Amino acid sequence: MRRDYPNLCKPLQVGRVTLRNRMCSAPLGATDILADGTPGPRTLGFYEMRAKGGAAAVTVSELVVHPDTDGSQMLKLSLSTPGQLGAFTYVADAIKRHGAIASIELSHSGQYAGTYMVDKKKKGALCQYGPSDGVRPDGLPVKALEQGQIADIVAAYANAAGLAKRAGFEMVMVHAGHGWLINQFLSPYFNKRTDEYGGPLENRVRFAREVLQAVRDEVGPGFPIELRMSGSELFDGGYDLEEGCRIAEALEDLVDIIHVSAGSYQFGFSMTHPSMFRDHGCNVHLAAEIKKHVKVPVATVGGLSDPAQMEEIVSSGMADIVVMGRALLADPEIPNKVMANRGDEIVKCLRCFVCMAERPVTQTRRCAVNPRIGREFEGMAIAPAAEKKRVLVVGGGVAGLVGAWVAAKRGHEVTLCEAQGELGGILRSERPLPFKRDMFRLGQTYALLCERAGVDIRLNTPVDAAFAEKFAPDALIAAVGSEPMKLPIPVQEDVRVLTVDDLYLAPSVAAAPIGEEAAPSAKEADSWLSYGTTEVSEDPAAAAVADLVGDEVVVIGGGLTGCECALLLARLGKTVHIAEMRDGLAIDANIRNRPILLAELADAGVDEVVNARALEVTADGVVVETPEGQRTLPAQTVICAIGQRSRRAAADALLDAAPFVRVVGDARRPANITLAVYEAWHAAMDI
């Protein structure tokens, strides 16, 4: 067959193993880890899903090699713990039985021990070790490793690699990036030693070489070793790309793959894991440059999910392998879909950090668009229904689309009715925000999936009790969504007050082109190889938003929606004030996304006014009450972003419309995509 993405689909020989394609699963932290560091049963299913999805290699992360100096709450492997070797063997088996290469990441957090602990207070009881004495930014002391400890850690890497091989893993990854211990030795910022492990580069790479040599001696020739490194630390005082190339050159004789990531834990989380505010593939240039200096295969990672972009990366020689982490949480089937020429069916990652925020909060995994993540063994796989039923889905937002698609895939006869002339629901309002465009396109993807699954889609078709009674469904999913709340304060006449929906769904904005419709291809523009996001002012849909507001704007409501609106307008050159009643902005954002968003707001120069209760909108602006007294925030335009209200009355009118009725998403209570998708999936599974 002719492949749409032939270079992504080519196999690659690495040592004694063959990668079946060029798409690999990045190391992703285990789902459930028992108290002794043993992987739990959900962890097996978590990694197996990516193997079933077609990834060439699936890497288990992170195996702590030396618990005595690294108290992190991660995986451990020791023969002294009964059943532990067997548990890892079952995980390796689960990956290999689907044709993927089972790999495991060998790790030591160094001075960042305790990073993944849920009880952060326990970090203070740990002794953080690093190459040099010092104090972490959070005030915890760091103690320099003695040479005897270094030798013990080197031996521990070798021991862990040997046990992993014994358990059936076919490759190991040595983590030397992101500010972890090996990276700390490589970094002139962290490494201030004056012995043979510090100073010039040939000394700073010594620890890495000793680790890699010990691992090679243990696993033997032909057993692939993958080195994960930061191509550049991306902060002042750290090593840059030029030195990153020299590090790669100094280590390539000991490894089979150089996996090039970026940044450092302490200084660049959103660069190591590119956020929605950065271009897809913004770190590819690091791998591309390092590839010019080494002969072993090079892998690249960071915000990649589009098959056309990944194909270009491989075909142009920027990297030999593309590695996906969050993208394979959102859609584990990406490699299978690419191989089968179904790239347009990929459910793309939103880069919202729900997945990474959940682990430190609840010790579980969750994905905004894939409800099965972390719950692979809970009977959530789509299976044919025992009895075909007539299903009516009311509402074409994300909840309605997911519910309709799952029900149709189970074999039901599904009709979806949407009152508006376009599918997508609240996702349509994300269209003019360049950094939220993946969220807008999620609605388009599910619309396509519904169409291909045979869902009868009826636009401009409102549904009430009479309609439903005449339709006579066996089951009904009410996904009628929510509507913006109106300002509950006086507004003087002729003052321009808009809701976020008024702004984003205005005819002039809806008519403006976006993305590929408006810009040259990524290859021509080269935009996805650069830092930052494409200029907002160059995006026609975003620019159309700018035309609807004055030069000075007040956004009332500093939740996630209000903050994102303020950021867009500030980037469009407007002077923006946010008025928020609570004592902080974006409190409804997750713990990973919130600090990134707040940093973006600060960089954009947004005026943040918290503990401010809006009293009145006048011709001069918004009068607010603060602890210091009343003040007026000047504005020509006021944006209301105080929240959403469920269309509960519309949902309640349908409660007796069928033997089975389920209200899902914002119609049940305004929340987020994560909850909407989860509820809709289960509603369809319960029919």
Q: What is the pLDDT of residues 560-616, one digit of tens each?
A: 999 999 999 999 999 999 999 999 999 999 999 999 999 999 999 999 999 999 999
pLDDT score recorded for residue 266: 76
Q: Which helix (DSSP H) or strand (DSSP E) does residue 25 occupy?
A: strand 23-29
Between 342-356, 519-533, 653-667, the lowest mean confidence (pLDDT) is in 519-533
Average pLDDT, the chain: 94
Distance CA 51, CA 100 (A): 5
CA atoms within 13 A on the CB side of 129: 17
Mean pLDDT (whole number) for 105-113: 94
Q: pLDDT by residue (tens digit) across 626-650? A: 999 999 999 999 999 999 999 999 9
pLDDT score recorded for residue 387: 97
Domain spanning 12-362: which superfamily?
Aldolase class I (3.20.20.70)
Q: pLDDT by residue (tens digit) across 60-80? A: 999 999 999 997 778 999 999
Distance CA 469, CA 628 (A): 57
**pLDDT(380) > 90:** no
Fold type of domain 390-481+651-685: Rossmann fold (3.40.50)
Give domain limits for the chain. 12-362, 390-481+651-685, 496-506+548-642
pLDDT score recorded for residue 268: 78
Distance CA 117, CA 35 (A): 12
Region of residue 168 (phi > 0: left; psi between -120 and 50: alpha; otherwise: beta): left
Would you list the DSSP string of 656-687? Answer: TSSSEEEE-GGGT----HHHHHHHHHHHHHT-
Would you list the DSSP string of 294-362? Answer: -SS-EEEESS---HHHHHHHHHTTS-SEEEESHHHHH-TTHHHHHHTT-GGG--------HHHHHHHHH
Both ends of the chain: CA-CA distance in Å? 38
Between 298-302, 440-444, 493-497, the lowest mean confidence (pLDDT) is in 493-497
Q: pLDDT by residue (tens digit) across 170-190? A: 999 999 999 999 999 999 999
Q: For 105-166, what is the HEC assignment?
A: EEECCHHHCCCCCCCHHHHHHCCEEECCCEECCCCCEEEECCHHHHHHHHHHHHHHHHHHHH
This prediction has a pTM of 0.94
pLDDT band at 199 (very low <50, low <70, confident <90, very high): very high
Mean pLDDT (whole number) for 40-55: 96
**Which amino acid is present at 633?**
L
pLDDT band at 382 (very low <50, low <70, confident <90, very high): very high
Listed in order, strand segments (DSSP E) in 447-574 are 456-458, 475-478, 482-484, 496-499, 552-556
Alpha carbon 421 to its chain centroid, in Å, reads 31
Neighbour count for residue 280 (Cβ, 10 Å): 23
Orientation angle between helical segments 41-52 and 84-96, nearest 10 degrees? 20
Can you tell me which residue has the tokens 């021509």? 524
The CATH code belonging to domain 496-506+548-642 is 3.50.50.60
pLDDT score recorded for residue 200: 98
Distance CA 71, CA 64 (A): 9
For residue 528, what is the DSSP state? Answer: G
Q: pLDDT by residue (tens digit) across 505-539? A: 999 999 999 865 543 333 333 333 333 345 677 88
Comparing 12-362 with 390-481+651-685, is the CATH topology the same?
A: no
* Percent of the chain's residues with pLDDT above 90: 88
What dihedral do alpha carbons 681, 363, 226, 232 form, nearest 10°?
Answer: 100
